[in-house]
Chains A and B, each alone.
Chain A
Protein backbone atom coordinates (compact mmCIF):
# COMPACT_ATOMS: atom_id res chain seq x y z
CA UNK A 1 0.00 0.00 0.00
CA UNK A 2 2.71 2.41 1.05
CA UNK A 3 4.94 1.47 -1.86
CA UNK A 4 2.10 1.93 -4.28
CA UNK A 5 1.44 5.37 -2.90
CA UNK A 6 5.03 6.35 -3.46
CA UNK A 7 5.02 5.48 -7.11
CA UNK A 8 2.27 8.02 -7.76
CA UNK A 9 3.53 10.93 -9.76
CA UNK A 10 4.08 14.17 -7.98
CA UNK A 11 1.99 16.70 -9.81
CA UNK A 12 1.33 20.40 -9.73
CA UNK A 13 -0.84 20.16 -6.63
CA UNK A 14 1.88 18.41 -4.70
CA UNK A 15 4.38 21.13 -5.57
CA UNK A 16 1.98 24.00 -4.83
CA UNK A 17 1.24 22.51 -1.45
CA UNK A 18 4.91 22.01 -0.69
CA UNK A 19 5.84 25.50 -1.81
CA UNK A 20 3.16 27.09 0.33
CA UNK A 21 4.34 25.11 3.30
CA UNK A 22 7.99 26.10 2.90
CA UNK A 23 7.04 29.72 2.24
CA UNK A 24 4.83 30.00 5.31
CA UNK A 25 7.49 28.48 7.54
CA UNK A 26 10.10 30.78 6.10
CA UNK A 27 7.92 33.85 6.56
CA UNK A 28 7.17 32.84 10.11
CA UNK A 29 10.84 32.59 10.90
CA UNK A 30 11.53 35.91 9.18
CA UNK A 31 8.76 37.61 11.14
CA UNK A 32 10.35 36.46 14.33
CA UNK A 33 13.26 38.66 13.37
CA UNK A 34 10.93 41.61 12.97
CA UNK A 35 13.65 44.25 13.11
CA UNK A 36 15.46 42.61 10.21
CA UNK A 37 12.29 42.55 8.22
CA UNK A 38 11.45 46.22 8.78
CA UNK A 39 14.99 47.44 8.20
CA UNK A 40 15.42 45.54 4.96
CA UNK A 41 12.04 46.74 3.66
CA UNK A 42 12.86 50.36 4.50
CA UNK A 43 16.30 49.91 2.99
CA UNK A 44 14.80 48.71 -0.24
CA UNK A 45 12.37 51.62 -0.38
CA UNK A 46 15.21 54.06 0.19
CA UNK A 47 17.32 52.42 -2.52
CA UNK A 48 14.41 52.77 -4.89
CA UNK A 49 13.79 56.37 -3.88
CA UNK A 50 17.36 57.32 -4.72
CA UNK A 51 17.11 55.47 -8.02
CA UNK A 52 13.91 57.30 -8.70
CA UNK A 53 15.45 60.68 -7.83
CA UNK A 54 18.09 60.20 -10.50
CA UNK A 55 15.41 59.22 -12.97
CA UNK A 56 13.28 62.22 -12.06
CA UNK A 57 16.12 64.75 -12.41
CA UNK A 58 16.90 63.35 -15.82
CA UNK A 59 13.37 63.46 -17.17
CA UNK A 60 12.03 66.59 -15.54
CA UNK A 61 13.96 68.64 -18.05
CA UNK A 62 12.68 66.72 -21.03
CA UNK A 63 8.95 66.89 -21.44
CA UNK A 64 9.21 64.02 -23.87
CA UNK A 65 11.82 61.66 -25.33
CA UNK A 66 11.36 60.44 -28.85
CA UNK A 67 7.65 60.91 -28.57
CA UNK A 68 7.35 59.36 -25.10
CA UNK A 69 5.84 61.61 -22.49
CA UNK A 70 7.15 61.88 -18.97
CA UNK A 71 4.17 60.03 -17.54
CA UNK A 72 4.43 57.23 -20.07
CA UNK A 73 8.05 56.72 -19.17
CA UNK A 74 7.11 56.82 -15.53
CA UNK A 75 4.54 54.13 -16.22
CA UNK A 76 7.20 51.88 -17.73
CA UNK A 77 9.41 52.57 -14.75
CA UNK A 78 6.76 51.45 -12.27
CA UNK A 79 5.83 48.51 -14.47
CA UNK A 80 9.43 47.30 -14.62
CA UNK A 81 9.69 47.47 -10.84
CA UNK A 82 6.68 45.18 -10.53
CA UNK A 83 8.01 42.86 -13.19
CA UNK A 84 11.33 42.34 -11.45
CA UNK A 85 9.74 41.70 -8.06
CA UNK A 86 9.11 37.96 -8.60
CA UNK A 87 12.69 37.27 -9.61
CA UNK A 88 13.91 39.03 -6.50
CA UNK A 89 11.43 37.49 -4.10
CA UNK A 90 11.21 33.93 -5.33
CA UNK A 91 14.36 33.18 -7.31
CA UNK A 92 17.00 34.74 -5.12
CA UNK A 93 18.76 31.45 -4.41
CA UNK A 94 20.13 31.56 -7.94
CA UNK A 95 22.67 34.01 -6.61
CA UNK A 96 24.18 31.30 -4.40
CA UNK A 97 24.87 28.80 -7.15
CA UNK A 98 28.34 29.94 -8.06
CA UNK A 99 29.36 29.82 -4.39
CA UNK A 100 27.76 26.44 -3.74
CA UNK A 101 29.36 24.97 -6.81
CA UNK A 102 32.69 26.26 -5.60
CA UNK A 103 32.35 24.83 -2.08
CA UNK A 104 30.65 21.65 -3.25
CA UNK A 105 27.58 22.43 -1.15
CA UNK A 106 25.25 22.23 -4.12
CA UNK A 107 25.33 18.46 -3.96
CA UNK A 108 23.14 18.48 -0.84
CA UNK A 109 20.12 19.41 -2.95
CA UNK A 110 20.51 16.36 -5.15
CA UNK A 111 19.24 13.67 -2.77
CA UNK A 112 15.56 14.54 -2.51
CA UNK A 113 12.82 12.82 -4.49
CA UNK A 114 11.53 16.12 -5.86
CA UNK A 115 12.35 18.28 -8.83
CA UNK A 116 15.81 19.72 -8.28
CA UNK A 117 15.08 23.19 -9.66
CA UNK A 118 11.98 23.49 -7.53
CA UNK A 119 13.72 22.21 -4.44
CA UNK A 120 16.65 24.53 -4.80
CA UNK A 121 14.67 27.65 -5.65
CA UNK A 122 12.01 27.10 -3.00
CA UNK A 123 14.60 27.25 -0.24
CA UNK A 124 14.92 31.02 -0.25
CA UNK A 125 12.23 33.66 -0.18
CA UNK A 126 13.76 37.10 -0.23
CA UNK A 127 11.74 39.71 1.52
CA UNK A 128 13.65 42.73 0.22
CA UNK A 129 11.61 42.58 -2.97
CA UNK A 130 8.52 43.59 -1.01
CA UNK A 131 9.76 47.16 -0.50
CA UNK A 132 10.39 47.46 -4.20
CA UNK A 133 6.96 46.12 -4.98
CA UNK A 134 5.28 48.70 -2.77
CA UNK A 135 7.28 51.46 -4.39
CA UNK A 136 6.47 50.15 -7.87
CA UNK A 137 2.75 50.09 -7.12
CA UNK A 138 2.95 53.72 -6.01
CA UNK A 139 4.76 54.89 -9.14
CA UNK A 140 2.50 52.90 -11.40
CA UNK A 141 -0.68 54.17 -9.76
CA UNK A 142 0.46 57.76 -10.12
CA UNK A 143 1.32 57.38 -13.81
CA UNK A 144 -1.84 55.36 -14.44
CA UNK A 145 -3.89 58.19 -13.04
CA UNK A 146 -2.04 60.89 -14.99
CA UNK A 147 -2.38 58.95 -18.23
CA UNK A 148 -6.11 58.59 -17.58
CA UNK A 149 -6.07 54.85 -18.16
CA UNK A 150 -9.47 53.53 -17.10
CA UNK A 151 -9.42 51.65 -13.83
CA UNK A 152 -11.77 48.79 -14.66
CA UNK A 153 -11.44 45.10 -13.74
CA UNK A 154 -10.55 44.32 -17.35
CA UNK A 155 -7.65 46.76 -17.34
CA UNK A 156 -6.46 45.45 -14.00
CA UNK A 157 -6.60 41.92 -15.33
CA UNK A 158 -4.58 42.94 -18.39
CA UNK A 159 -2.10 44.59 -16.04
CA UNK A 160 -1.77 41.44 -13.97
CA UNK A 161 -1.28 39.25 -17.02
CA UNK A 162 1.23 41.55 -18.62
CA UNK A 163 3.22 41.94 -15.40
CA UNK A 164 3.30 38.16 -15.02
CA UNK A 165 4.53 37.55 -18.54
CA UNK A 166 7.05 40.37 -18.19
CA UNK A 167 8.37 38.85 -14.98
CA UNK A 168 8.95 35.53 -16.75
CA UNK A 169 11.54 37.19 -18.97
CA UNK A 170 13.54 38.51 -16.05
CA UNK A 171 13.29 35.18 -14.23
CA UNK A 172 14.44 33.27 -17.30
CA UNK A 173 17.30 35.65 -17.93
CA UNK A 174 18.54 35.19 -14.37
CA UNK A 175 18.06 31.41 -14.55
CA UNK A 176 20.30 31.31 -17.59
CA UNK A 177 22.86 33.57 -15.97
CA UNK A 178 22.84 31.45 -12.82
CA UNK A 179 23.15 28.22 -14.80
CA UNK A 180 26.48 29.37 -16.21
CA UNK A 181 27.76 28.84 -12.67
CA UNK A 182 27.50 25.09 -13.20
CA UNK A 183 30.06 25.25 -15.98
CA UNK A 184 32.19 28.29 -15.24
CA UNK A 185 33.86 28.86 -11.90
CA UNK A 186 33.12 32.16 -10.22
CA UNK A 187 30.28 33.19 -12.46
CA UNK A 188 28.95 35.79 -10.03
CA UNK A 189 30.00 38.27 -12.71
CA UNK A 190 27.58 36.79 -15.19
CA UNK A 191 24.77 37.21 -12.66
CA UNK A 192 25.72 40.78 -11.84
CA UNK A 193 26.03 41.59 -15.52
CA UNK A 194 22.66 40.05 -16.38
CA UNK A 195 20.95 41.78 -13.48
CA UNK A 196 22.24 45.16 -14.66
CA UNK A 197 20.05 44.82 -17.73
CA UNK A 198 17.01 45.46 -15.60
CA UNK A 199 18.07 49.13 -15.64
CA UNK A 200 17.67 49.26 -19.42
CA UNK A 201 14.43 47.35 -19.31
CA UNK A 202 12.49 50.35 -18.08
CA UNK A 203 13.00 52.47 -21.22
CA UNK A 204 10.90 52.30 -24.34
CA UNK A 205 12.84 50.23 -26.80
CA UNK A 206 12.41 52.88 -29.48
CA UNK A 207 14.91 55.22 -27.85
CA UNK A 208 17.76 52.81 -28.59
CA UNK A 209 19.53 52.51 -31.94
CA UNK A 210 18.46 49.64 -34.21
CA UNK A 211 21.31 47.34 -33.19
CA UNK A 212 20.44 47.51 -29.51
CA UNK A 213 16.77 47.36 -30.35
CA UNK A 214 17.42 44.05 -32.04
CA UNK A 215 19.61 42.76 -29.22
CA UNK A 216 17.17 43.77 -26.49
CA UNK A 217 14.29 42.16 -28.32
CA UNK A 218 15.72 38.90 -29.59
CA UNK A 219 19.04 38.18 -27.87
CA UNK A 220 18.72 39.49 -24.34
CA UNK A 221 14.99 40.09 -24.44
CA UNK A 222 14.70 42.79 -21.80
CA UNK A 223 12.35 44.77 -24.01
CA UNK A 224 9.77 42.29 -22.75
CA UNK A 225 10.36 43.19 -19.13
CA UNK A 226 8.40 46.41 -19.47
CA UNK A 227 8.08 47.84 -22.94
CA UNK A 228 6.19 45.25 -24.98
CA UNK A 229 3.79 43.99 -22.32
CA UNK A 230 2.88 47.45 -21.09
CA UNK A 231 1.96 48.70 -24.54
CA UNK A 232 -1.42 47.04 -23.99
CA UNK A 233 -2.14 49.71 -21.41
CA UNK A 234 -0.09 52.72 -22.41
CA UNK A 235 -0.72 52.75 -26.13
CA UNK A 236 -3.72 50.57 -26.73
CA UNK A 237 -4.10 51.96 -30.25
CA UNK A 238 -0.74 50.74 -31.60
CA UNK A 239 -0.15 47.31 -30.09
CA UNK A 240 2.47 45.33 -32.05
CA UNK A 241 2.43 41.60 -32.61
CA UNK A 242 5.24 41.03 -30.13
CA UNK A 243 3.04 42.42 -27.38
CA UNK A 244 0.38 39.83 -28.09
CA UNK A 245 3.03 37.15 -28.22
CA UNK A 246 4.75 38.17 -24.99
CA UNK A 247 2.91 35.73 -22.68
CA UNK A 248 3.63 32.73 -24.86
CA UNK A 249 7.19 33.87 -25.53
CA UNK A 250 7.64 34.34 -21.79
CA UNK A 251 6.55 30.78 -21.10
CA UNK A 252 8.78 29.43 -23.82
CA UNK A 253 11.76 31.42 -22.59
CA UNK A 254 11.17 30.22 -19.05
CA UNK A 255 10.98 26.62 -20.19
CA UNK A 256 14.20 27.01 -22.12
CA UNK A 257 15.97 28.54 -19.12
CA UNK A 258 14.68 25.76 -16.89
CA UNK A 259 16.02 23.12 -19.26
CA UNK A 260 19.43 24.78 -19.43
CA UNK A 261 19.51 25.15 -15.64
CA UNK A 262 18.68 21.47 -15.16
CA UNK A 263 21.25 20.40 -17.71
CA UNK A 264 23.87 22.42 -15.87
CA UNK A 265 22.90 20.98 -12.52
CA UNK A 266 23.05 17.45 -13.89
CA UNK A 267 26.39 17.88 -15.55
CA UNK A 268 27.78 19.34 -12.37
CA UNK A 269 29.01 16.91 -9.76
CA UNK A 270 30.21 17.96 -6.36
CA UNK A 271 33.89 18.64 -5.90
CA UNK A 272 35.73 16.08 -3.80
CA UNK A 273 34.58 16.17 -0.22
Chain B
Protein backbone atom coordinates (compact mmCIF):
# COMPACT_ATOMS: atom_id res chain seq x y z
CA UNK B 1 0.00 0.00 0.00
CA UNK B 2 1.08 3.53 -0.80
CA UNK B 3 1.75 5.75 2.24
CA UNK B 4 -0.30 8.92 2.82
CA UNK B 5 2.50 10.76 4.53
CA UNK B 6 6.18 10.21 4.04
CA UNK B 7 8.73 12.26 5.90
CA UNK B 8 12.44 11.84 5.40
CA UNK B 9 15.00 13.49 7.64
CA UNK B 10 13.21 16.79 8.07
CA UNK B 11 14.72 19.62 10.05
CA UNK B 12 13.29 22.97 10.98
CA UNK B 13 15.35 25.78 12.36
CA UNK B 14 14.01 29.09 13.58
CA UNK B 15 16.12 32.18 13.62
CA UNK B 16 15.58 34.05 16.82
CA UNK B 17 16.57 37.65 17.17
CA UNK B 18 18.69 38.19 20.26
CA UNK B 19 17.36 41.39 21.73
CA UNK B 20 19.91 43.61 23.40
CA UNK B 21 19.02 45.37 26.60
CA UNK B 22 18.05 48.97 27.07
CA UNK B 23 17.55 51.82 24.66
CA UNK B 24 21.12 51.65 23.45
CA UNK B 25 20.62 47.97 22.74
CA UNK B 26 17.44 48.59 20.78
CA UNK B 27 19.19 51.14 18.63
CA UNK B 28 22.05 48.74 18.04
CA UNK B 29 19.49 46.09 17.07
CA UNK B 30 18.29 48.36 14.30
CA UNK B 31 21.67 48.28 12.64
CA UNK B 32 23.11 44.89 13.32
CA UNK B 33 20.88 42.01 14.14
CA UNK B 34 22.20 39.15 16.12
CA UNK B 35 20.43 35.86 15.54
CA UNK B 36 20.59 32.54 17.26
CA UNK B 37 19.11 29.42 15.74
CA UNK B 38 16.70 27.11 17.43
CA UNK B 39 16.34 23.60 16.12
CA UNK B 40 12.61 22.96 16.63
CA UNK B 41 12.56 19.73 14.61
CA UNK B 42 15.67 17.63 14.35
CA UNK B 43 16.02 14.87 11.75
CA UNK B 44 12.60 13.26 11.91
CA UNK B 45 11.47 10.52 9.56
CA UNK B 46 8.25 8.56 9.46
CA UNK B 47 5.82 6.93 7.11
CA UNK B 48 2.09 6.83 7.73
CA UNK B 49 -0.33 4.49 5.99
CA UNK B 50 -3.93 5.22 4.94
CA UNK B 51 -6.39 4.89 7.79
CA UNK B 52 -3.79 4.94 10.53
CA UNK B 53 -4.35 6.93 13.67
CA UNK B 54 -1.03 8.16 14.96
CA UNK B 55 -0.50 9.83 18.31
CA UNK B 56 2.24 12.41 18.12
CA UNK B 57 3.32 12.84 21.66
CA UNK B 58 5.74 15.05 23.50
CA UNK B 59 5.97 17.67 26.21
CA UNK B 60 5.37 21.36 25.56
CA UNK B 61 7.79 22.88 23.10
CA UNK B 62 8.89 19.50 21.76
CA UNK B 63 8.21 20.49 18.16
CA UNK B 64 4.85 18.81 17.56
CA UNK B 65 3.04 21.83 16.14
CA UNK B 66 6.03 22.71 14.02
CA UNK B 67 5.95 19.25 12.45
CA UNK B 68 2.21 19.55 11.80
CA UNK B 69 2.72 22.97 10.22
CA UNK B 70 5.27 21.48 7.86
CA UNK B 71 2.95 18.61 6.93
CA UNK B 72 0.13 21.06 6.18
CA UNK B 73 2.39 23.19 4.03
CA UNK B 74 2.39 26.45 5.94
CA UNK B 75 5.98 26.01 7.04
CA UNK B 76 8.80 24.96 4.78
CA UNK B 77 11.31 22.56 6.31
CA UNK B 78 14.86 23.84 6.53
CA UNK B 79 15.93 20.53 4.99
CA UNK B 80 14.47 17.11 4.30
CA UNK B 81 11.60 15.75 2.29
CA UNK B 82 7.87 15.62 2.96
CA UNK B 83 5.22 14.05 0.79
CA UNK B 84 1.55 14.26 1.73
CA UNK B 85 -1.04 12.75 -0.59
CA UNK B 86 1.69 12.32 -3.17
CA UNK B 87 2.53 16.01 -3.20
CA UNK B 88 5.01 18.35 -1.55
CA UNK B 89 2.80 20.33 0.86
CA UNK B 90 4.44 23.76 0.72
CA UNK B 91 4.84 24.07 -3.04
CA UNK B 92 1.13 24.43 -3.68
CA UNK B 93 -0.39 25.10 -0.32
CA UNK B 94 -3.78 26.28 -1.55
CA UNK B 95 -4.41 23.28 -3.73
CA UNK B 96 -3.09 20.75 -1.24
CA UNK B 97 -5.44 22.17 1.35
CA UNK B 98 -8.33 20.63 -0.61
CA UNK B 99 -7.58 17.18 0.65
CA UNK B 100 -6.63 17.71 4.27
CA UNK B 101 -8.42 18.83 7.41
CA UNK B 102 -6.76 20.75 10.22
CA UNK B 103 -7.79 21.62 13.75
CA UNK B 104 -5.60 23.68 16.02
CA UNK B 105 -6.97 23.28 19.54
CA UNK B 106 -8.46 26.48 20.99
CA UNK B 107 -8.32 28.33 17.68
CA UNK B 108 -11.64 27.96 16.01
CA UNK B 109 -11.69 28.17 12.24
CA UNK B 110 -15.43 28.69 12.13
CA UNK B 111 -17.09 32.06 11.68
CA UNK B 112 -17.45 33.50 15.13
CA UNK B 113 -20.77 35.27 14.69
CA UNK B 114 -22.53 32.69 12.52
CA UNK B 115 -24.55 29.63 13.43
CA UNK B 116 -22.43 26.54 12.90
CA UNK B 117 -24.63 25.33 10.08
CA UNK B 118 -23.95 28.53 8.13
CA UNK B 119 -20.22 28.04 8.62
CA UNK B 120 -20.67 24.52 7.28
CA UNK B 121 -22.59 25.87 4.30
CA UNK B 122 -19.74 28.23 3.48
CA UNK B 123 -17.27 25.38 3.81
CA UNK B 124 -19.44 23.38 1.44
CA UNK B 125 -18.80 26.06 -1.19
CA UNK B 126 -15.13 26.46 -0.38
CA UNK B 127 -14.43 22.75 -0.73
CA UNK B 128 -17.10 22.28 -3.40
CA UNK B 129 -18.65 19.40 -1.52
CA UNK B 130 -21.45 17.82 -3.49
CA UNK B 131 -24.92 17.97 -2.04
CA UNK B 132 -25.27 14.32 -1.22
CA UNK B 133 -21.93 13.98 0.55
CA UNK B 134 -22.74 17.11 2.51
CA UNK B 135 -26.19 15.97 3.61
CA UNK B 136 -24.92 12.51 4.48
CA UNK B 137 -22.17 13.96 6.63
CA UNK B 138 -24.51 16.30 8.49
CA UNK B 139 -26.82 13.42 9.27
CA UNK B 140 -23.97 11.16 10.20
CA UNK B 141 -22.53 13.77 12.62
CA UNK B 142 -25.94 14.13 14.19
CA UNK B 143 -26.31 10.40 14.64
CA UNK B 144 -22.83 10.17 16.07
CA UNK B 145 -22.87 12.82 18.79
CA UNK B 146 -26.20 14.61 18.42
CA UNK B 147 -24.50 17.45 16.58
CA UNK B 148 -27.89 18.58 15.28
CA UNK B 149 -28.45 20.46 18.54
CA UNK B 150 -25.36 22.54 17.91
CA UNK B 151 -26.00 23.40 14.27
CA UNK B 152 -28.15 26.43 15.01
CA UNK B 153 -25.93 27.81 17.75
CA UNK B 154 -23.43 30.53 16.95
CA UNK B 155 -19.82 29.75 17.72
CA UNK B 156 -19.59 32.64 20.16
CA UNK B 157 -22.32 31.10 22.31
CA UNK B 158 -20.49 27.81 22.65
CA UNK B 159 -18.23 26.40 25.30
CA UNK B 160 -14.68 25.57 24.33
CA UNK B 161 -15.59 21.89 24.21
CA UNK B 162 -18.57 22.38 21.90
CA UNK B 163 -16.46 24.60 19.69
CA UNK B 164 -13.77 21.95 19.47
CA UNK B 165 -16.38 19.34 18.60
CA UNK B 166 -17.67 21.53 15.76
CA UNK B 167 -14.17 22.30 14.56
CA UNK B 168 -13.40 18.61 14.38
CA UNK B 169 -16.63 17.95 12.49
CA UNK B 170 -15.79 20.79 10.11
CA UNK B 171 -12.39 19.27 9.42
CA UNK B 172 -14.05 16.02 8.30
CA UNK B 173 -16.83 17.67 6.32
CA UNK B 174 -15.17 17.41 2.92
CA UNK B 175 -13.99 13.82 3.47
CA UNK B 176 -10.29 14.65 3.41
CA UNK B 177 -7.78 11.84 3.24
CA UNK B 178 -5.79 13.14 6.23
CA UNK B 179 -6.87 15.11 9.26
CA UNK B 180 -4.38 16.83 11.55
CA UNK B 181 -5.53 17.50 15.08
CA UNK B 182 -3.20 19.63 17.14
CA UNK B 183 -3.96 19.22 20.86
CA UNK B 184 -7.70 18.82 20.39
CA UNK B 185 -8.36 18.04 24.05
CA UNK B 186 -6.28 20.80 25.59
CA UNK B 187 -8.07 22.72 28.31
CA UNK B 188 -11.14 20.48 28.37
CA UNK B 189 -12.72 18.70 31.30
CA UNK B 190 -12.71 14.93 31.63
CA UNK B 191 -16.16 14.25 30.19
CA UNK B 192 -15.61 16.51 27.19
CA UNK B 193 -12.25 14.88 26.60
CA UNK B 194 -13.83 11.46 26.43
CA UNK B 195 -16.59 12.71 24.14
CA UNK B 196 -14.04 14.13 21.77
CA UNK B 197 -11.98 10.96 21.88
CA UNK B 198 -15.06 8.94 21.00
CA UNK B 199 -15.83 11.23 18.09
CA UNK B 200 -12.32 11.02 16.69
CA UNK B 201 -12.24 7.27 17.02
CA UNK B 202 -15.57 6.87 15.23
CA UNK B 203 -14.63 9.21 12.38
CA UNK B 204 -11.31 7.49 11.85
CA UNK B 205 -12.94 4.09 11.85
CA UNK B 206 -16.04 4.82 9.76
CA UNK B 207 -14.45 7.03 7.16
CA UNK B 208 -11.02 5.42 7.10
CA UNK B 209 -9.48 8.86 7.38
CA UNK B 210 -5.85 9.01 8.40
CA UNK B 211 -5.57 10.97 11.62
CA UNK B 212 -2.46 12.55 13.09
CA UNK B 213 -3.10 13.70 16.60
CA UNK B 214 -0.70 15.68 18.73
CA UNK B 215 -1.08 15.81 22.45
CA UNK B 216 0.81 15.84 25.66
CA UNK B 217 -1.94 13.89 27.37
CA UNK B 218 -1.21 10.15 27.70
CA UNK B 219 -4.94 9.59 28.10
CA UNK B 220 -5.55 10.69 24.52
CA UNK B 221 -3.19 8.17 23.00
CA UNK B 222 -4.29 5.48 25.39
CA UNK B 223 -7.87 5.89 24.22
CA UNK B 224 -7.18 6.42 20.54
CA UNK B 225 -3.96 5.46 18.94
CA UNK B 226 -2.50 2.14 17.98
CA UNK B 227 0.75 3.75 17.02
CA UNK B 228 2.59 6.48 18.82
CA UNK B 229 5.51 8.64 17.95
CA UNK B 230 7.20 10.49 20.76
CA UNK B 231 9.42 13.49 20.26
CA UNK B 232 11.31 15.56 22.73
CA UNK B 233 13.39 18.68 22.04
CA UNK B 234 12.81 18.16 18.32
CA UNK B 235 14.18 14.62 18.27
CA UNK B 236 12.20 11.50 17.70
CA UNK B 237 12.68 9.14 20.61
CA UNK B 238 10.05 6.50 19.99
CA UNK B 239 7.99 5.21 17.08
CA UNK B 240 6.16 2.01 17.71
CA UNK B 241 2.88 0.47 18.73
CA UNK B 242 1.11 1.48 21.88
CA UNK B 243 1.00 -2.19 22.95
CA UNK B 244 4.73 -2.31 23.20
CA UNK B 245 4.75 0.81 25.31
CA UNK B 246 1.90 -0.43 27.42
CA UNK B 247 3.63 -3.71 28.10
CA UNK B 248 6.33 -1.64 29.71
CA UNK B 249 4.29 1.00 31.39
CA UNK B 250 1.13 -0.93 32.07
CA UNK B 251 2.77 -2.22 35.23
CA UNK B 252 3.76 1.19 36.42
CA UNK B 253 1.66 2.88 39.07
CA UNK B 254 1.89 6.38 40.41
CA UNK B 255 0.69 6.91 43.95
CA UNK B 256 0.48 10.53 45.02
CA UNK B 257 0.49 11.18 48.73
CA UNK B 258 0.02 13.93 51.26
CA UNK B 259 0.97 13.38 54.86
CA UNK B 260 -0.10 14.89 58.08
CA UNK B 261 2.00 17.98 57.66
CA UNK B 262 1.07 21.10 55.81
CA UNK B 263 2.55 20.30 52.41
CA UNK B 264 0.85 23.36 50.92
CA UNK B 265 2.97 25.76 52.91
CA UNK B 266 6.20 23.77 52.90
CA UNK B 267 9.26 24.98 51.05
CA UNK B 268 10.12 23.00 47.93
CA UNK B 269 13.48 22.02 49.43
CA UNK B 270 11.84 20.61 52.53
CA UNK B 271 9.41 18.64 50.40
CA UNK B 272 12.21 17.31 48.25
CA UNK B 273 14.07 16.24 51.36
CA UNK B 274 11.00 14.38 52.55
CA UNK B 275 10.65 12.62 49.17
CA UNK B 276 14.30 11.66 49.29
CA UNK B 277 13.92 10.23 52.79
CA UNK B 278 10.86 8.31 51.73
CA UNK B 279 12.66 6.90 48.70
CA UNK B 280 15.64 5.65 50.68
CA UNK B 281 13.28 4.20 53.29
CA UNK B 282 11.28 2.36 50.63
CA UNK B 283 14.42 1.15 48.87
CA UNK B 284 15.65 -0.33 52.12
CA UNK B 285 12.33 -2.05 52.67
CA UNK B 286 11.93 -3.45 49.13
CA UNK B 287 15.41 -4.35 48.00
CA UNK B 288 14.46 -5.97 44.68
CA UNK B 289 12.31 -3.11 43.40
CA UNK B 290 14.60 -1.31 40.98
CA UNK B 291 12.00 1.07 39.61
CA UNK B 292 10.70 2.25 42.95
CA UNK B 293 11.21 5.99 43.37
CA UNK B 294 9.70 9.03 45.05
CA UNK B 295 9.67 12.61 43.87
CA UNK B 296 7.88 15.89 44.41
CA UNK B 297 5.00 16.70 42.10
CA UNK B 298 3.22 19.97 42.73
CA UNK B 299 2.88 19.79 46.55
CA UNK B 300 2.38 16.04 46.41
CA UNK B 301 4.89 13.35 47.04
CA UNK B 302 4.67 11.01 44.14
CA UNK B 303 5.75 7.38 44.36
CA UNK B 304 6.40 5.49 41.15
CA UNK B 305 6.49 1.71 41.29
CA UNK B 306 6.28 -1.31 39.04
CA UNK B 307 3.64 -3.85 40.01
CA UNK B 308 5.62 -6.91 38.97
CA UNK B 309 8.46 -5.87 41.24
CA UNK B 310 6.39 -4.97 44.24
CA UNK B 311 2.67 -4.73 44.87
CA UNK B 312 1.20 -1.31 45.24
CA UNK B 313 -0.74 -2.26 48.35
CA UNK B 314 2.40 -3.51 50.04
CA UNK B 315 4.11 -0.19 49.45
CA UNK B 316 1.15 1.80 50.70
CA UNK B 317 0.87 -0.35 53.80
CA UNK B 318 4.53 0.01 54.50
CA UNK B 319 4.35 3.79 54.21
CA UNK B 320 1.28 3.92 56.36
CA UNK B 321 3.00 2.08 59.17
CA UNK B 322 5.65 4.77 59.24
CA UNK B 323 3.59 7.89 58.63
CA UNK B 324 -0.04 8.86 58.66
CA UNK B 325 -1.37 9.37 55.12
CA UNK B 326 -3.75 12.31 54.91
CA UNK B 327 -4.63 12.19 51.23
CA UNK B 328 -3.87 9.89 48.35
CA UNK B 329 -4.59 9.56 44.61
CA UNK B 330 -3.67 6.99 42.01
CA UNK B 331 -2.67 8.16 38.55
CA UNK B 332 -1.62 6.81 35.24
CA UNK B 333 1.97 7.41 34.36
CA UNK B 334 2.54 10.90 32.97
CA UNK B 335 4.02 11.68 29.58
CA UNK B 336 7.00 13.20 31.31
CA UNK B 337 7.75 10.00 33.24
CA UNK B 338 7.35 7.90 30.10
CA UNK B 339 9.80 10.09 28.25
CA UNK B 340 12.21 10.01 31.15
CA UNK B 341 12.03 6.22 31.20
CA UNK B 342 12.63 6.02 27.47
CA UNK B 343 15.64 8.26 27.85
CA UNK B 344 16.96 6.13 30.67
CA UNK B 345 16.97 3.27 28.21
CA UNK B 346 14.27 1.18 29.84
CA UNK B 347 12.58 0.67 26.51
CA UNK B 348 13.54 0.76 22.88
Contact = CB atoms under 8 A, between A and B. Distances in A.
Give the interface centre of B61, B75, B107, B122 by most chain A CB atoms within 10 Å: B107
B114 A107 contact: no
B82 to A, nearest CB: 15
Interface string B87-117: 0000001111111101010011101011100
A269 B75 contact: yes
Contact of A18 (B72, B113, B125, B154): B125
Contacts of A269: 69, 74-75
Interface stretch (A20-28, A160-168, A215-223): A20-28
Contacts of A21: 121-122, 125
A152 interface: no
B126 interface: yes
A123 interface: yes
Contacts of B118: 25
Q: Is the interface of A mostly helix, strand, loop or mixed?
A: helix
Nearest to A103: B107
Nearest to A115: B94
A111 B113 contact: no
A30 B96 CA distance: 34
Nearest to B130: A2
Interface residues of A, number: 28
A272 interface: yes
Interface string A117-129: 0000001000000
Contacts of B108: 108
A107 B125 contact: no
B127 interface: yes
Contacts of A17: 125
A112 interface: yes
B126 A25 contact: no
A6 interface: yes
Contact of A6 (B66, B69, B98, B107): B98
A29 B115 CA distance: 9
A113 B126 contact: yes
A18 B107 contact: no
Given A107-B74, A113-B97, A29 B122 contact: no
A169 B43 CA distance: 47
Contacts of B254: none
A17 B113 CA distance: 20
A57 B122 CA distance: 49
B128 interface: yes
Contacts of A115: 94
Given A107-B74, A108-B109, A18 B98 contact: no
Contacts of A7: 95
Interface residues of B, number: 35
A259 to B, nearest CB: 16
Contacts of A116: 94
A26 B126 contact: no
Given A2-B130, A18-B125, A29-B154, A110 B74 contact: yes
Nearest to B110: A108
B69 A272 contact: no
A61 interface: no
A155 B99 CA distance: 50
Given A6-B128, A111-B97, A113-B127, A25 B107 contact: no
A114 B94 contact: yes
A209 interface: no
Nearest to B97: A113
B65 interface: yes
Interface in A1-48: 2, 5-7, 17-18, 21-22, 25-26, 29-30
B121 A273 contact: no
Nearest to B63: A272
B125 A123 contact: no
B182 interface: yes
B97 A112 contact: yes
Interface in B63-80: 65-66, 69, 72, 74-75
Given A29-B154, A111-B72, A273 B65 contact: yes
Contacts of B130: 2
9 contacts: A18-B122, A18-B125, A25-B118, A26-B113, A113-B126, A113-B127, A269-B69, A270-B65, A272-B65
Interface of A: 2, 5-7, 17-18, 21-22, 25-26, 29-30, 104-105, 107-108, 110-116, 123, 269-270, 272-273
Given A112-B109, A273-B65, 10 more contacts: A17-B125, A18-B125, A18-B126, A21-B125, A26-B113, A29-B115, A108-B108, A111-B72, A113-B95, A113-B97
